[in-house]
């Protein structure tokens, strides 16, 4: 069983691995606020969602015949990926080393189902990691616990290519399979990943779906949770290699999770634990809906929407992990590039309101149509104008707290006043700061930001 020891250590299993305090270990992460997710695998060829194998029910042999045999990422240049992420202001990248389809991007000695044996003829992970390290970008490995390809993985009725087949057929297919053997494979591969590629900062396991009935937890044809993955052992292995590493919350060990990972929705507010203490989280989001490259999906979010999502995360004490699904040739497509560049243009002048920031101090009231972030170390507050106000932003209870205010994009002064006659006419409560803004927003700035220096 997993037990939580006091404040600074988390103990798992008999040996009790000592892990440095979360806040210390995660400072780089909560300061960074913005990272890139990359979903890349054979599914990029199908170009219609990374779940293709499972949702279209494509049997292993056919999937291999089509996609493993024809995988030819001739334009793959991780230097370009990493530069695009860095230019967008992202500080870390989490790459799918293996997704549910089971295909490995690296030269694993535990399988033949790997990039080395495709037309790529090489380990695709190493040059990526090297490029990250060159750019000072932190590295995260996504590793799918689910594996629809491994011959020892128990086939279930929940997902994967055979989940819609009759139960008896699945039972026949499961003869000779042994989840424990698969679990050892997972540990071998994770060890290989964490010891052969230099420092890895985040381990992103995906995902658990325990059986609905408690009594079925050991029946892995009905679901898979910590028993199916031997999650405690896996956790110990990872933290034993690197106690500072950050692990997500999808291995069904809630007490051990370093971050919560909402996906495809934004939390309504700051996430807290039972004691009301804030907990670190990272929303992972897509441009359109698919994680893997999806050629025909047309409902792409605009760069403005994505920038506002990043602001929303930081204002609620979270990070944003924004996903790109490179094509089967190994490139970021033009739709992704356009958005990354636009985000980069905004970040180049506004990252002060993102890096090292979190929610506004308790009690500060968010003005109408705005989102607030706050840098504790600098004691500066950032007012993001999500819609353009008519000549003034009313900031309640702030008149006696503001030392100076300016736009972030050009550091031009923002005048503020709080004269009684204005307050009376506008009917704003005493001690409201009236921040004066021009008639029109600064040209070419997707989301204008006012930086406020607070009095000590």
- Number of other residues whose CB lies within 10 A of the CB of residue 185: 18
Q: At closest approach, how far in Å is the CB of 170 from ligand GLC?
A: 20
Q: At closest approach, how far in Å is the CB of 20 from ligand GLC?
A: 26
Cβ pair 43, 285 in contact under 8 A: no
Measured CA to CA, the distance from residue 84 to residue 86 in angstroms comes to: 6
Q: For residues 51 and 332, which CB has a smaller minimum distance to ligand GLC in the complex? A: 51
Q: For residues 153 and 418, which CB has a smaller minimum distance to ligand GLC in the complex? A: 153
* Neighbouring residues of 207: CB distance < 8 A, sequence distance ≥ 6: 144, 145, 146, 250
Q: At closest approach, how far in Å is the CB of 415 from ligand GLC?
A: 45
- From 349, 261, 357, select the one nearest 312 (Cα to Cα): 357
**Helix, strand, coil distribution of the chain in percent, nearest 5:** 30, 20, 50
Q: For residues 146 and 392, which CB has a smaller minimum distance to ligand GLC in the complex? A: 146
207 preceded by cis ω (within 30°)?
Answer: yes
Q: For residues 155 and 433, which CB has a smaller minimum distance to ligand GLC in the complex? A: 155
Q: For residues 31 and 263, which CB has a smaller minimum distance to ligand GLC in the complex? A: 263
Q: For residues 43 and 106, which CB has a smaller minimum distance to ligand GLC in the complex? A: 43
Q: For residues 72 and 263, which CB has a smaller minimum distance to ligand GLC in the complex? A: 263
Q: Which residues bind to ligand GLC, rule: CB under 6 A?
A: 39, 50-51, 206-207, 263, 284, 291
Q: For residues 44 and 392, which CB has a smaller minimum distance to ligand GLC in the complex? A: 44
Q: For residues 29 and 207, which CB has a smaller minimum distance to ligand GLC in the complex? A: 207
Helices and strands counted in the chain (H then E): 15, 16
319's tokens: 């990070």
Angle among Cα 305, 309, 312 to the nearest 5 degrees reads 135
Helix (H, G, I), strand (E, B) or coil at 198: coil
- The DSSP secondary structure of 275-313, one letter per residue, reads TS-B--EEEEE-SSS-SS-BTT---PPPHHHHHHHHHHH
Q: At closest approach, how far in Å is the CB of 50 from ligand GLC?
A: 5
Measured CA to CA, the distance from residue 331 to residue 66 in angstroms comes to: 20
**Residue labelled with tokens 């042994």:** 178
* Neighbouring residues of 367: CB distance < 8 A, sequence distance ≥ 6: 383, 393, 394, 395, 396
Q: At closest approach, how far in Å is the CB of 96 from ligand GLC?
A: 7
Q: At closest approach, how far in Å is the CB of 174 from ligand GLC?
A: 22
Q: At closest approach, how far in Å is the CB of 159 from ligand GLC?
A: 8
Q: At closest approach, how far in Å is the CB of 362 from ligand GLC?
A: 31
Q: At closest approach, how far in Å is the CB of 449 from ligand GLC?
A: 29
Q: For residues 51 and 197, which CB has a smaller minimum distance to ligand GLC in the complex? A: 51
- From 145, 141, 93, 128, select the one nearest 321 (Cα to Cα): 93
- From residue 119, alpha-carbon distances to 165, 246, 344 in Å are 32, 34, 34
Q: At closest approach, how far in Å is the CB of 122 from ligand GLC?
A: 24
């Amino acid at each position: 069983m997993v037990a939580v020891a006091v404040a600074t250590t988390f103990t798992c299993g008999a040996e009790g691995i000592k892990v440095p305090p979360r806040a210390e270990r995660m400072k780089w992460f909560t300061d960074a606020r913005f990272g890139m997710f990359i979903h890349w695998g054979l599914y990029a060829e199908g170009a219609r969602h990374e779940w293709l194998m499972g949702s279209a029910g494509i049997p292993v042999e056919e999937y291999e015949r089509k996609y493993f045999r024809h995988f030819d990422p001739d334009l793959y240049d991780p230097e370009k990926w990493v530069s695009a992420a860095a230019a967008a202001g992202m500080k870390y990248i989490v790459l799918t080393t293996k997704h549910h389809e089971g295909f490995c991007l690296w030269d694993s000695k535990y399988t033949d189902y790997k990039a080395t044996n495709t037309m790529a003829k090489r380990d695709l992970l190493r040059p990526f990691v090297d490029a990250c390290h060159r750019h000072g970008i932190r590295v995260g490995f996504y590793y799918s616990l689910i594996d629809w390809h491994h011959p020892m993985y128990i086939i279930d009725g929940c997902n994967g290519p055979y989940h819609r087949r009759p139960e008896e057929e699945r039972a026949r297919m499961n003869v000779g399979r042994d989840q424990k053997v698969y679990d050892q494979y997972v540990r071998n591969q994770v060890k290989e990943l964490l010891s052969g590629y230099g420092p890895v900062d985040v381990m992103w396991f995906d995902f658990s779906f325990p059986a609905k009935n408690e009594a079925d937890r050991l029946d892995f044809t009905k679901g898979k949770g910590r028993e199916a993955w031997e999650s405690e052992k896996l956790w110990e292995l990872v933290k034993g290699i690197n106690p500072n590493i950050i692990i997500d919350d999808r291995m069904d060990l809630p007490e051990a999770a370093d971050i919560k990972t909402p996906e495809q929705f934004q939390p309504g507010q700051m996430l807290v634990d039972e004691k009301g203490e804030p907990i670190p989280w990272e929303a992972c989001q897509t441009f359109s809906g698919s994680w893997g490259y999806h050629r025909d999906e047309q409902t792409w979010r605009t760069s403005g929407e994505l920038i506002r999502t990043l602001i929303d995360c930081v204002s609620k004490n979270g990070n944003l992990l924004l996903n790109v699904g490179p094509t089967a040739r190994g490139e970021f497509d033009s739709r992704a590039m356009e958005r990354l560049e636009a985000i980069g243009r905004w970040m180049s002048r506004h990252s002060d309101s993102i890096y090292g920031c979190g929610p506004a101090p308790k009690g500060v009231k968010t003005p109408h149509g705005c989102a607030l972030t706050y840098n504790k170390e600098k004691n500066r507050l950032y007012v993001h104008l999500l819609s353009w106000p008519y000549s003034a932003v009313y900031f309640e209870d702030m008149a006696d707290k503001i030392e100076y205010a300016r736009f972030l994009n050009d550091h031009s002064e923002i005048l503020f006043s709080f004269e009684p006659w204005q307050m009376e006419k506008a009917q704003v409560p005493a001690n409201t700061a009236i921040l004066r803004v021009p008639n029109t927003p600064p040209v070419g700035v997707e989301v204008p930001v006012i930086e406020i220096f607070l009095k000590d």
